Amino acid sequence: MVDQVLLQQVKAKANAWLSGDYDADTRQKVQELLAKEDPTDLIESFYKDLEFGTGGLRGIMGAGSNRMNIYTVGAATQGLANYLKKEFANLPKISVVIGYDCRNNSRLFAEKSADIFSANGIKVYLFPELRPTPEISYAIRKLGCQSGICITASHNPKEYNGYKAYWSDGAQVIAPHDKNIIAEVNKVSSVKDIKFKGNPALIEILDDKIDDNYIQDLLTLSLSKEAIKKHKDIKIVYTPIHGTGITLIPRALKALGFENIIGVPEQEVISGDFPTVKSPNPEEAAALKMAVEKAIATGADLVMASDPDADRIGAAVRNENGEFVLLNGNQTLLVFIYYIITRWRELGKLTGKEYVVKTIVSTELIKKVTKKNSIKLFDCYTGFKWIADVIRQNEGKRIYLGGGEESYGFLAEDFVRDKDSVSACMLLAEIAAWAADNGKTVYELLQDIYVEYGFSKEKGISVVRPGKSGAEEIETMMKNFREHPQTELAGANVIFIKDFANLTGTDTIENEQVTLDMPTTSNVLQYLAADGTKVSIRPSGTEPKIKFYIEIHSQVASREDIAAADAAADAKIEEVRKSLEI
């Protein structure tokens, strides 16, 4: 049953887009929506304004107020420009960096944004072609800019695009700037408020120098140069999955010293349609299928993939039977942190001031690794803007070793302030060389970490609920989990509940409450059981889904015990799923 009041409101809003303020193509598309007998698409396109949230914009491309198009992107850019002019009114020049990925309309949205910034008197540094998102962060810092944007929807399906806003430190905006920018964007109430006529004199196309500087700085992170020299011929298959990684990652790996980089030609074709995959997400096995097949055919040892904007890394390694298995985000995070700490210790670089950052939904094994090595660990919210915030707070006080999250993002350097698959691919290749130098594969290295620190298995489950009704259903699910909390997880009593929406921690044994030490609230609920099982629940901030993170722990005495521990963890995860009714 269609809500007739909502439908009339939507039609009125759509008819306003038929005015001469909008281009002919947009007007035509709106007419087609109005003419459809089924009003579903019309309602989805206009029932609300695409929200400029704390991470910027992300949505399906198309005509309408709830879609990614030159007008919603234009309003976001105009609002950001207005805020920058207020915040930096004392500067003689305000400048921004604009980058974009391979998606359909990314170049168009980037150029329109450049026009709007320049029309507002703001200097623009525009990348000449697609580039990895972390390089936009790097360029903001390198060029001394006040802000920057990247047009990308990360690993979302091809129908999506997005808009990430960055601050002067190269990190995505957080308080107070996020709310202040949102307020300015919301003031842009008419398309007439958007200055689309650019000033070409204020738009500078960046040259290759920024690429050269970025790669040279990444090379300084290397901790095992001799191992790389000895194992420079390791066969590595890399796929950009049609995205921006192709512009820099093969070049960076070769600059590091690796000579046997094998591509997947079909996936080196830059395309926003992602023709060889259903979803360009390196978290999914299907996205790495062609790369794994190439590795089998060529006898390669390691498979790596980056998502369309090259900030996330996916990987596959050979197990004890020579078969390829995918590493999940928690496993790559664990291997990265273990390696960096181990090498810093071996090289005598540790001073006692080092620290590591992980997100609250990432594996708790990181806590064991850092504790044993006397390294400070910071836990933060999901999203790299929070890892960047920890780096900002510790600048000049502590030494950053690395930080990451379970969703396949890692940052090895502090001269970038967003997750970086360029440096992550370089790091994983180096780890493979170092492991080989120690008579191990990457898979065996991971097994040995489990033997030393305990076995952990994590499972991420996403329940997708698109559209207006889906958003309401997700809200209801979160409410139910809060009002009717789990008392046990697969037979283990829940002993602590963390509700980050009100920063309250509840000890269910002592029936006591504590205040959680976090910078702000977040719509995340976490259950911790007596046997170490952890469940985290949160609605996605960028996709129409609610996410469940299940983590199971046990002890293993040897590599041979891991298979049984893994099977037991799978069974336990299924029990937890049933208890959560997902």
Nearest-angstrom CA–CA distance, 100 and 200: 19
Q: Are 450 and 552 in contact (CB under 8 A)?
A: no
Q: Are 291 and 305 in contact (CB under 8 A)?
A: yes
Nearest-angstrom CA–CA distance, 291 and 274: 15
Neighbours of 136 (CB within 10 A): 30
Tell me if residue 362 is catalytic.
no
CA 390, 335, 370, 415 torsion-angle sign: negative
Q: Are 166 and 147 in contact (CB under 8 A)?
A: yes
- Tokens linked to 59: 């949505």
- Tokens linked to 338: 């273990």
Nearest-angstrom CA–CA distance, 92 and 246: 37
Pairing state between β 504-507 and 313-318: unpaired
Task: Return the biggest CA–CA distance within the chain.
Answer: 72
Residues in the chain: 582
Neighbours of 356 (CB within 10 A): 24
Give CA separation, 227 vs 197, 222, 284, 326, 407, in Å: 54, 10, 31, 24, 29
Question: Rounded to a whole number, what is the distance in angstroms from the first to the last CA of the chain?
Answer: 27
Q: Are 61 and 161 in contact (CB under 8 A)?
A: yes
Catalytic residue (one of 154, 362, 456, 554): 154
Q: Are 304 and 425 in contact (CB under 8 A)?
A: yes
- 305 burial (CB, 10 Å; 0-12 / 13-18 / 19+) is buried
- 324 burial (CB, 10 Å; 0-12 / 13-18 / 19+) is buried
Nearest-angstrom CA–CA distance, 208 and 247: 11
CA 291, 293, 295, 298 torsion-angle sign: negative
The residue among 184, 446, 478 whose CA lies nearest residue 337 is 446
- 103 burial (CB, 10 Å; 0-12 / 13-18 / 19+) is buried
Q: What is the DSSP string of 488-533?
A: EETTEEEEEEEETTTTEEEETTTTEEEE---SS--S-EEEEETTS-
Angle of helix 133-142 versus helix 209-219 axis, rounded to 10: 100
List alpha helices for 299-364, DSSP H: 329-346
Nearest-angstrom CA–CA distance, 457 and 574: 12
At residue 146's C-alpha, the angle toward residues 144 and 147, to 5°, is: 115
Q: What are the residue numbers of the active site?
A: 154
